[in-house]
Amino acid sequence: MSTLSAIGLRKAFPGVLALEGVDFEIRGGVIHALVGANGAGKSTLIKILSGYYPHYEGRIEINGKPVTITKPSHAFAHGIEVVHQEVDTVMIPYLTVAENLLIERLASGATGTFLRMRRLYAQAEEVAKGLNLDIDVRRRVEDLTLPQKQMLVIARAISRRAPFLILDEPTSSLSLRETEQLFDILNRLKEQGVGIIYVSHRLQEIQAIADEVTVLRNGRRVAHFEREFDLARVVEAMLGVPQGQAFPPRQERQAGEVVLEVRGLSKRGQVHDVSLRLRHGEILGITGLTGSGKTQLLHLLYGAESADDGEILLEGRPVRLSSPGAAVAQGIYLVPEERRRQGLFIDNTVRENISLPFLKLFTAASFVMRGRERAHAQHIIERVRLTPPDPEMLVKNLSGGNQQKVVIGKWLGGAPRVIMFDEATQGIDVGAKQEVYLLAQRLAQRAGVIFATSDIDEALGLADRVLVMRDGRVVAELPIATANRQTLLAYAVGAESSHGQGDEAYD
């Protein structure tokens, strides 16, 4: 079976040593997990192996022979296939599922001089069926949900039958069922001799799927574990200290007056008759499976979509949120699920992203006062502990965890009444997760916080009160003192009878 080896890889950026003498090997028929905290060097290693960085020290070998990989086409030619975390950057939104799935055949002319769409759709359906991909191949990609896009990108990579497959956070937007489906596919590929690099911050998944684990920290390889491995030791290697609590200590906060009230909010096919109350100083968790309606509810509260029925009251007064701008003007802020597409201008600097929502604070006579803007950006950078602390760095060059800090940080310049987090820790490491939790706790001292997450343990660890959604409805509400994982999961999947919104709905 084939072997891909990285030997003594070193990569430096101005002021940052991203990798220092890293050795890494992936063998055919093995799932090798790569883990590390924010800024550990995982993305740099992957980008070297996939040809995105032309300049680096060290060497790459395939089956013991040195190979040159300095651009993506080299990696592709050597059978290295990559599924990147940010799916929208690798698909063409205005093309169909079939066209994106078979894009190489279209580009190479393998489909013939005259494109026969019927044949293309048939080929795409055959590929999709073989991977149990339940998507209409005639739909445009821009109309797909994020989980569907994720599965499409994975399916495209697998269909190319490369000997080496690199998966970067492949389950970050997938449901439990879709994750199990992916694991079945990966185990089949392993049996066929494919070597798989699996990058994920979800350590329970790694324990379930990986044959071995390599840990990076501060650009160096610090640990390697064979199966069976102890997750506590993996986390300790990642952080460099013994594993502590997954969540920061629960703060003693006195919940104040109701800051947000929702009455009978509905949008056809998405959200059905949702009512809730959020108090100043509390963190309200909303959990449920992927597709349960959490994101759609937050979009209604943010003015990104219009409700068909219902009422929203802010500090007791009805408000009409006709757009995100109207919500921001009322002090309602959102940290969206898709940070690159909905929360950031990735080709702009950190400074520009941080100052943009409240740019009028830094303008006079239509001119931006750069000194004041830079000072504000630097202050926010220090508050969120951005790495590297460079206001002029392009956001696209930051890690996922640091990009999320920018999304959160830009709202710190305002006067929030309500701030909503939608899957805010998706695709970031354990260290960055703790920093997000701390930021949410700090914001709860100034506003009411809604923390929507499909991770039930996260809702239990952070929230003061938890709502469970299923099929667009709130099916349960529990104070944190009586909530537990089994009960919340049962409500989420419909395994026990619902009692409406519970006895604590309007405490």
Do 38 and 154 lie in one domain? The reply is yes
Residue 65 has pLDDT above 80, yes or no: yes
Residue 339 located in a structural domain: no
Whole-number pLDDT of residue 265: 96
How much is the mean pLDDT over the chain?
Answer: 86
Question: Alpha-carbon Rg of the chain, whole angstroms?
Answer: 24
- Split at pLDDT 50, 70, 90, the class of 505 is very low
- For the record, the structure tokens of 132 come out as 């149990």
Please state whether beta strands 465-470 and 448-453 pair in parallel, antiparallel, or not at all (unpaired). Answer: unpaired
3-state secondary structure of 302: coil
Residues 233 and 256 in one domain: no
Residue 340 lies in a domain: no
Mean of the pLDDT values across residues 117-121?
Answer: 82
Q: How far is Cα 237 from Cα 233, in angstroms, rounded to an integer?
A: 6
Nearest Cα residue to 338 out of 100, 52, 145: 145
For residue 363, which phi and psi values (nearest 5 degrees)?
-120, 150
Tell which residue, 94, 446, 498, 491, has the closest CA to residue 281: 446
Q: Residue 67 belongs to a domain with what CATH number?
A: 3.40.50.300
pTM of the model: 0.61
Instruction: With a cut of 50, say whether residue 153 has pLDDT above it.
Output: yes
Three-class DSSP category at 19: strand
Amino acid at 417: R
Residues 409-466: tens digit of each pLDDT: 999 888 899 999 999 888 777 777 888 899 999 999 989 999 999 888 889 999 999 9
Of these ranges, 75-89, 252-266, 351-365, the one predicted with the greatest mean pLDDT is: 252-266
Percent helix, strand and coil across the chain, each to the nearest 5? 35, 25, 35
Per-residue CA distances from 128 to 45, 63, 83, 154 (Å): 30, 31, 17, 11
Q: CA 226 to CA 32: how far, in whole Å?
A: 9
Q: Is residue 343 part of a domain?
A: no
Domain-terminating residue out of 380, 414, 448? 414
Q: How far apart are CA 151 and CA 171, in angstroms?
A: 9
Q: Is residue 293 domain-shared with residue 305, that is, in the same domain?
A: yes
Dihedral over Cα of 404, 358, 355, 384: its sign: negative
Residues 98 and 192 in one domain: yes
The answer to whether residue 342 sits within a structural domain is no
Residue 154 lies in a domain: yes
Residue 338 lies in a domain: no
The answer to whether position 450 is within a domain reads yes
436 in Cβ contact with 404 (< 8 Å): yes
Count of structural domains, the chain? 3
**What local confidence, expressed as pLDDT, does residue 262 receive?**
96
Position 333 confidence tier, pLDDT thresholds 50, 70, 90: very high
Q: How far apart are CA 195 and CA 190, in angstroms?
A: 7
Query: What is the per-residue pLDDT for 23?
Result: 96
Boundary of a domain, candidates 199, 223, 239? 239
Q: Residue 319 and residue 367: Cα distance in Å, rounded? A: 32
- Whether 125 shows a pLDDT value over 70: the answer reads yes
Regarding whether 192 and 87 lie in a shared domain, the answer is yes
Q: Are 155 and 170 within one domain?
A: yes
Q: Are residues 160 and 221 in the same domain?
A: yes
Q: CB burial class (10 A; 0-12, 13-18, 19+) of residue 73? A: exposed
Same domain, 435 and 506: yes
Q: Judge if 96 and 145 occupy the same domain.
A: yes
What residue type is 348 in one-letter code? N
The answer to whether residue 442 is domain-embedded is yes
Domain end point (choices 214, 239, 264): 239
Residue 425's identity, in one-letter code, is T
- Residue 279, classed as helix, strand or coil, is strand
Residues 376 and 307 in one domain: no
- For residues 312 and 289, membership in a common domain is answered with yes
| Domain that residue 315 falls in | 246-331+416-507
* Per-residue pLDDT tens over the stretch 4-56: 999 999 998 876 788 999 999 999 999 999 998 767 888 899 999 999 999 99
Q: What percent of the chain has pLDDT over 90?
A: 46
What's the pLDDT tens digit per position in 217-249? 888 999 999 877 787 788 778 777 655 556 777
Same domain flag for 478 and 490? yes
**Secondary structure of 420-450 in HEC code, one letter for each residue:** EEECCCCCCCHHHHHHHHHHHHHHHCCCEEE
Q: How confident is the model at residue 281 (pLDDT cuts 50, 70, 90)?
A: very high
Sign, Cα dihedral of 87, 88, 92, 94:
positive
